[in-house]
Amino acid sequence: MSEQQSIENKEVLTLEEASQLFQVSTKTFLKLLREENIPARKVGREWRFSKSALLQWMSEGNSRDYSLIEDQNQAYFEQVAPVYDELRKGCYGNALREMLIAKFTPKPGFEVADIGTGTGYLAHTLAQYAKKVWALDSSPAMLEVARKDFLSHNLNNVILIEGDAHDLPLNDNSQDLVYANLLLHHILEPSLAIKEMFRVVKPDGKAIITDIDLHNYKWLKEEKSDLWLGFERAEIKGWLQEAGFTAIEVTDLGCNCRTSSKSGTLVEIPMFLAVGTKPPTIKRNKNNYNKEVNH
């Protein structure tokens, strides 16, 4: 019996089965469970879900359809693109990219990627050092603002790509460094995006991720299209480990992200810097091969 059939025939679902019903990973489903009012009960340490209660809950519009969430996210950036650079100045200035790129400066000859480049905030500065910058975003309107900026500054070594961070249109082992600033809290499955970063970065290359710490400003979901209320640093570290990165460090970025609600509440959210290195490939020679076999 296929997994789908088994769900069709069951009323009481496990966490894995309920996640399948929602067509999201168990991690995303757990996040939903934490943040939304999903009908669920705990039996000992295990979660159990009544399928009919879940379906009823969804049909009442309590659940936001997940592809709809992605569409809304894209619509938000399509709408704000023309004014995004002005908005950004209020949230975080140029100091963030200057500090970050001073710390992780591409060497001449490097190919680097800026995932969720937006209007090209990091890519603009990276292009002054790297041989080639792949600047990827899912929003055509944001990329259009970036294109005009690169053109007016003669930054001919930036390649703009419309694409999805969950499924990068970049070759395996092709990038010396991969950056992502304030992308993860806007996407459905940050852990998947981190796995993609691991895939495209070269051995010895690094993923450099900056984002906001866990917070409780729920209005950011409605007003700024945030999908995650920031992250626990341990969670980010776990995702980097799971992806295969080593020498992982998740530390204070030393910058806050400022933002204000429609009602005028101004908040400052601390940001973290997460760095992981892809392990070098093991060069096999007779000696170290033997060592592995003897272990």
Ligand X SMILES: C[S@@+](CC[C@H](N)C(=O)[O-])C[C@H]1O[C@@H](n2cnc3c(N)ncnc32)[C@H](O)[C@@H]1O
Q: b/e for 231-253, b at 16 or more Cβ within 10 A? A: bebebbbbbbeebebeebebeeb
Residue nearest to ligand X (CB): 118
What is the amino acid identity at position 12?
V
183 binds ligand X per the rule CB under 6 A: yes
Phi, psi (deg, nearest 5) at residue 175: -115, 140
118 touching ligand X, by CB under 6 A: yes
Per CB under 6 A, 139 contacts ligand X:
yes
Do strands 41-43 and 46-50 pair parallel, antiparallel, or not at all (unpaired)?
antiparallel
Largest CA distance in the chain: 68
Instruction: Mark the segment that binds ligand X (CB under 6 A) among 22-30, 39-47, 103-111, 163-171.
Output: 163-171
Instruction: Supply the minimum distance, in Å, between the C-beta of residue 270 and ligand X.
Output: 16
Interface residue with ligand X among 112, 126, 155, 182 (CB under 6 A) is 182
**Which residue's CB is nearer to ligand X, number 54 or number 215?**
215
Q: Does 125 bind ligand X (CB under 6 A)?
A: no
If the CB atoms of residues 15 and 270 are measured against ligand X, the closer one turns out to be 270
CA distance 160 to 140: 10
Which 7-66 positions form the footprint of ligand X (CB under 6 A)? none
Q: Does 73 bind ligand X (CB under 6 A)?
A: yes
Among candidate residues 113, 124, 130, 121, the one with its CA nearest the CA of residue 197? 113
Pairing of strands 201-212, 158-162: unpaired
- Please report the DSSP string for 76-115 in residue order: HHHHHGGGHHHHHHHH--THHHHHHHHHSPPPTT-EEEEE
- At 185 the three-state DSSP class reads helix
CB-CB contact of 13 with 54 (8 Å): yes
Listed ranges 42-50, 115-123, 239-247, 286-294: which one lies at the site for ligand X (CB under 6 A): 115-123
176 scored as a contact of ligand X (CB under 6 A): no
Closest CA to 212 of 253, 248, 244: 253
Given 77, 150, 231, 239, the residue binding ligand X (CB under 6 A): 77
Residue 130 Cβ, how far from ligand X at the closest point, in Å? Answer: 16
Question: Is the Cβ of residue 54 or residue 80 nearer to ligand X in the bound state?
Answer: 80
Q: How far is the CB of 291 from ligand X (least distance, A)?
A: 42
* Binds ligand X by CB under 6 A, chosen from 13, 18, 54, 142: 142
Tell me which H or E stretch contains 161: strand 158-162
Cβ proximity to ligand X: between 21 and 182 the closer is 182
3-state DSSP call for residue 28? helix
Size of the site for ligand X (CB under 6 A): 19
Q: Which residues pair with 160 in a beta bridge?
A: 135
Piece in contact with ligand X (CB under 6 A), picked from 117-125, 126-134, 148-156, 251-259: 117-125
Distance between CA 124 and CA 118 in Å, rounded? 11
Q: Which is nearer to ligand X, 143 or 250 (CB)?
A: 143
**54 vs 116 by CB, closer to ligand X:** 116
Binding site for ligand X (CB under 6 A): 73, 77, 88, 116-118, 121, 137-139, 142, 164-166, 181-183, 186-187
